[in-house]
Amino acid sequence: MSAIATSDAILAGSTSEPAAAAYRMFYALAGLALLATVCGVGRHLAESLAALMPGHGTTAVRLAAVPASAWLFAVAHLVAAVASLAVGYLVISLAYPRRFLEREARANPAAAIQASAHLLGAAVIAIVSWGGCDAPSLVVSLVFCVLGWVAVIVIGAAHRLVTRYRDHEEIAAGNTAAALAAAGLHLAVALVVGHAIQGQFAGWGQAFSGFAAALVVVFGLYPLRQVVLARLILRMSPSAMDAAVAGQRDHYLGAAEAACYVLTALCLTAGW
């Protein structure tokens, strides 16, 4: 049975308890992603507005000293950040070979896991991209937000070219092990891309070169999987690991691969 037929069969059947739990997880994460975006961008805006306040006086006096245009641009940044969370999720989801995963999430836990990863990845990009209180910062934020989406999509597609199975086909067939591994990679890439976007803007040339240099970290994820995780830790060949994830649907191995990606991204972006 093909992956598409298998997915249709899953959708035609009754919703299992694991699928229902994964479906609820997706919508719970949607709320958390929205809250994290508002809080994260709100912190950036507070820092930008605080820089415009005088160093003395009461709180009311200091707030009144901030130009009205700065408040308007700060609100525009917050609205744009929330909008980019939704648009970013849509763009990343449409670029994925298996589209509209959220429609399958009610009956297919693998689809819910990958859709959740797309949502969290979009949230990471939105949080780090927006935050400012003037017109130029809106343009800079928009450019690097779009660059973040493109980087996440391209790097994810490159990973599918080097693995021996197609994660979207496995996810369509309900393979949660493959979904865990793919979700871990997606989150790791989003963390690295988000780290590349962060920082003070000091000109377009320096910003683009810094963004490209920070993305070099991504190239360390693949040999880490092939050498460190597969051969040194698990004592198996990369092809055997692919077979265990795709053929045997080993959930523990899929979770281990996801944890390896995410923890590595956290360590590298923290400067360890």
As a whole number of angstroms, the distance between CA 63 and CA 52 comes to 9
Enter the tokens of residue 99.
């589209």
pLDDT digits (tens, 9 = 90+) for 177-227: 999 988 998 898 888 888 888 767 777 887 788 788 777 777 777 777 778
CB atoms within 10 A of CB 198: 14
Residue 14 pLDDT > 50: no
CB atoms within 10 A of CB 109: 27
Q: Which of 197, 171, 174 is nearest to 118 (CA)?
A: 171
Enter the tokens of residue 60.
């009311």
pLDDT of amino acid 146: 93
pLDDT band at 127 (very low <50, low <70, confident <90, very high): very high
As a whole number of angstroms, the distance between CA 5 and CA 135 comes to 50
Q: Which of 169, 243, 246, 116 is nearest to 6 (CA)?
A: 169
